[in-house]
Amino acid sequence: NRTPVTVLGLGLMGQALAGALLRAGHPTTVWNRTAAKAGPLVAQGARLAGSVRDAVTAGPLLIVCVSDYDAVHELLDPLDEVLEGRTLVNLTSGTSRSARETAEWAARRGVTYLDGSIMAVPEAIGTADSVLVHSGPRPAFDLYEPTLRSLGAAMYLDADHGLSSLHETAVVGLMYSTLNGFLQGAAMLGAAGVNAEAFAPIAKTATGMVVDWFAGYGRQIDDGTYPALDATLDTHLAAMENVIHESEFLGVSTDLPRFVKALADRSVSDGHGADSYAALIEQFRTSSS
Ligand code: NDP
């Protein structure tokens, strides 16, 4: 499998993508607004195209990874029929709406479109620690899967072009909630003179325990029943109050713990005090604004 690939966008991620394709033996054409970033890739055997048009015409498969969807359209909109008949894999981050709009744009131009999301950092690209999810026409994914696998575990999600971006934003939201929990704990321990780095291994073990609850709670959420097999929401509420009081004693922010408790208070008022933590899903399902 030596499919020629074009990579448009050589930021931190684009450089990692092109590097992995080169290592897998793909003839790789690259283009970047700031051409100097192509230097190390050219040294590894990439061909630097002189223009976007030149890059696009180099082969059947185009991978674009730039800052946002506006940049994608700034790059590709000025091109005319040269895009027709090619497959575009857009690994740029955005919302499901921008992914679906770009799919419509691609259809008008006769371009086969896959929207992808990268769930990895650049240094993991090309290793087993990198997961890329794709949505759009299955036959296009199947055709190029061997090539996409050079970038990491390549997964197909759905024909709906919006679903890969939707998964990415869901995962990014999860990442921020997890990081904010770590930062709250680090601030609390820091106020007592404990290093954040020393907290890291304990935080890692605790996070691993929480991660193991996802599948069971997921089943409860899908079923719409929340039996408290582990702890009731009333028990959690008492623990949440401890986090607020401890933060107050230490003089650190109580914003996040108060927000978390407000969600649980509402859920208990709705009658879920004897249910499991998964009952809180009802607070997330509706918009409060
Ligand atoms: P960088 O900021 O390192 O690179 C941005 C790239 O976009 C550069 O190639 C830049 O060109 C290009 N660009 C921006 N605006 C334009 C424009 N108007 N016209 C042409 N090119 C443009 O970002 P990353 O490479 O880290 O990220 C790229 C995408 O990958 C983002 O959507 C990001 O969310 C996603 N991603 C990144 C991850 C990461 O860990 N880095 C993880 C998962 C997803 P120039 O070099 O000329 O400025």
In angstroms, the CA 287 to CA 289 distance is 6
In angstroms, the CA 54 to CA 80 distance is 13
Residue 253: what are its φ and ψ, rounded to 5°? -60, 140
Q: Tens-digit pLDDT profile for the chain (289 aa)?
A: 689 999 999 999 999 999 999 999 999 999 999 999 999 999 999 999 999 999 999 999 999 999 999 999 999 999 989 999 999 999 999 999 999 999 999 999 999 999 999 999 999 999 999 999 999 999 999 999 999 999 999 999 999 999 999 999 999 999 999 999 999 999 999 999 999 999 999 999 999 999 999 999 999 999 999 999 989 999 999 999 999 999 999 999 999 999 999 999 999 999 999 999 999 999 999 876 5
DSSP 116-182: EEEES-GGGTTSTT-EEEEES-HHHHHHHHHHHGGGSEEEEEESSTTHHHHHHHHHHHHHHHHHHHH
115 SS3 class: strand
Query: Could you tell me if the CB of 73 is within 6 A of ligand 1?
Result: no
Query: Could you tell me if the CB of 238 is within 6 A of ligand 1?
Result: no
Report CA torsion sign: 20, 23, 27, 32: positive
Return the axis-axis angle of helices 196-211 and 163-191, rounded to nearest 10°.
140
**What is the C-alpha R_g of the chain?**
23
Look at residue 289 in the predicted model and tell me its pLDDT: 54
Domains in the chain (CATH in brackets) are 5-159 (3.40.50.720), 167-285 (1.10.1040.10)
Q: Are 148 and 1 in contact (CB under 8 A)?
A: no
Nearest CA to ligand 1 atom 21: 33
Nearest CA to ligand 1 atom 40: 121
Look at residue 288 in the predicted model and tell me its pLDDT: 67
Query: What is the best residue among 66, 102, 132 to mutate for testing ligand 1's pocket, by most ligand atoms within 8 Å of CB?
Result: 66
Look at residue 80 in the predicted model and tell me its pLDDT: 81
Query: Could you tell me if the CB of 175 is within 6 A of ligand 1?
Result: no
4 SS3 class: coil
Query: What is the 8-class DSSP label of residue 280?
Result: G
Look at residue 224 in the predicted model and tell me its pLDDT: 97
CA angle 129, 69, 37 (to 5 degrees): 65
What are the structure tokens assigned to 86, written together? 């090619």
User: Which residues on neighbouring strands pair with residue 118, listed in sequence order?
Assistant: 132
Q: How far is the CA of 208 from the centre of ligand 1 (A)?
A: 31
Contacts of 148 (CB under 8 A, 6+ apart): 89, 116, 132, 134, 141, 154
Query: Could you tell me if the CB of 10 is within 6 A of ligand 1?
Result: yes
Look at residue 286 in the predicted model and tell me its pLDDT: 85
Return the axis-axis angle of helices 255-267 and 163-191, rounded to nearest 10°.
120
